[in-house]
Amino acid sequence: MIEDQKFKLSTIESNGLTSYTIDGDGISANIGGTPIFKLELDGASFYAKAEWFNYFTIKGTNFKHGSVKMRSAFFMVKGAMENGSLETKTVIEPTSGNMGIAIAALSKIFSFKFIPIISYKVTDEVKEILKMLGSKPIEVDDNLCPRVSNTDTDQAIAIAKSYAQSPATRDKYLWLNQYENNFNPLAHAKSTASEIMTQVKELDAVLTGIGTGGTYVGLKSELEKMKINVIGIQPQPNHKIQGLRNLKESLLMPAILESIGAKPDDFKVVKDVDAFNCIKEIYKKYNLLLGPSSGVTCHEAINMAQKGKKVLAILADTGQNYTNMYRKMGIIDSEQDFEFMYNKAMLANLRY
């Protein structure tokens, strides 16, 4: 463990749910116990789990930020702390946004150094939040040579791997490696899955986007024991859905998915236009601005609900990282206040 512990970590049990609060120097965080509410679109209703309630707050400000990645980041960091690897090393991690932001927040709370590796295509909002948290990223340019694959995330992974495994640097850097780290799916097996089973009864399916595979594999390992189908969804090739990957497009199948023998054809594909249309409709009807990956899961949830299935969509984050992109796409036309989305009482009218 880190010797100079300036943080306070508490476990809270409430209504059958387990959550964690962490209070550190300048930042506090809440992880787990995320609410479930109900959405209705195109004559079909489905459950939605608001994973942005895994969030941190910068003290003395109104700034909050949360995502599904905060769960797995917490489990991975906690595991590294317990085995002592954070005492002498700087964490390095490739990220398209939310994982980097989550680790950056935890690095402030737990007092370790962190360097995110991002694509130059990552949104300005993500870059600004990382800067706010004091984590200066390494940016991967599209002209990186030799080109690792046709996705920038794979290039960032290759750079992180070189830092972590090169004889010249391996004693200085720790790659948490969300693509292989068993604490990633464990976070969802031990917390997300148990929450879902406590909060909703008799589900037919849970839908989640495919990125590292951590949420999918973790949920699948527990929920399918209860006869709940877990469906992974990937975006189209050459997509604009940050945080997810099309597995046929990428040369690197995440090891977490390889561990269960998953193949690209195992996962449904949702087109960008359908995902973003879903984001727009939810925003117009409910004033909830969600991230692009939630458009992927919600679109498929609507399709299944229209066929009479009782389904739940994992909503990975808010639209906080994507406002400039949404403005250019015509989804929004003004500045957005996301603080209200972190108020559980706000979802009361949408609850099932």
Q: Is there a domain that residue 3 lies in?
A: no
pLDDT band for position 146 (50/70/90)? Answer: very low
Q: Is there a domain that residue 22 lies in?
A: yes
Domain endpoint, select from 175, 201, 221:
175
H-assigned helices in the chain:
69-82, 98-110, 124-132, 152-165, 183-187, 193-199, 214-223, 255-258, 272-286, 292-305, 323-329
Q: Would you state the pLDDT for residue 250?
A: 79
Whether residues 20 and 154 fall in one domain: no
Residues in Cβ contact with 350 at an 8 Å cutoff, skipping those fewer than 6 apart: 37, 38, 39, 286
Q: Would you state the pLDDT for residue 96?
A: 87
Whether residues 233 and 337 fall in one domain: yes
Whether residues 128 and 158 fall in one domain: yes
Query: Mean pLDDT across the stretch 6-15?
Result: 91
Query: Mean pLDDT across the stretch 238-266?
Result: 92
Whether residues 194 and 288 fall in one domain: yes
pLDDT tens digits, one per residue of 63-109: 999 999 999 999 999 999 999 888 889 999 999 899 999 999 999 99
Number of neighbours of residue 342 by Cβ within 10 angstroms? 18
Q: Is there a domain that residue 87 lies in?
A: yes
253: number of CA atoms within 13 Å, CB side?
14
Q: Would you state the pLDDT for residue 15?
A: 86
Tracing tokens 């087109």 back to the chain, one arrives at: 271
Q: Is there a domain that residue 7 lies in?
A: no
Query: Mean pLDDT across the stretch 271-295?
Result: 97
Whether residues 342 and 260 fall in one domain: yes
Q: Would you state the pLDDT for residue 3?
A: 46
Q: Is there a domain that residue 4 lies in?
A: no
Q: Would you state the pLDDT for residue 142?
A: 56
Supply the mean pLDDT for the chain: 92
CA dihedral 96, 99, 100, 105 (to 10 degrees): 150
Rounded Cα distance between 189 and 143, Å, is 39
Domain endpoint, select from 175, 194, 217:
175
How many domains would you assign to the chain? 2
pLDDT tens digits, one per residue of 333-350: 998 989 999 988 888 777
Q: In percent, how much of the chain has pLDDT > 70?
A: 94
Whether residues 233 and 303 fall in one domain: yes
254 prior amide bond cis, ω within 30: no
DSSP state letter for 188: I
Whether residues 39 and 134 fall in one domain: no
Whether residues 302 and 322 fall in one domain: yes
Residue range(s) defining the domain that contains residue 90: 69-175
Q: Is there a domain that residue 126 lies in?
A: yes
pLDDT band for position 113 (50/70/90)? Answer: very high
Whether residues 202 and 292 fall in one domain: yes
Q: Would you state the pLDDT for residue 16?
A: 86
Whether residues 274 and 191 fall in one domain: yes
Q: Is there a domain that residue 2 lies in?
A: no
Domain endpoint, select from 175, 200, 222:
175
Q: Is there a domain that residue 206 lies in?
A: yes
Rounded Cα distance between 237 and 272, Å, is 9
**Residue 4 confidence (pLDDT) above 60:** no
Whether residues 93 and 17 fall in one domain: no
Tokens representing 261 are: 């023998």
Whether residues 230 and 341 fall in one domain: yes
The CATH number that applies at residue 248 is 3.40.50.1100
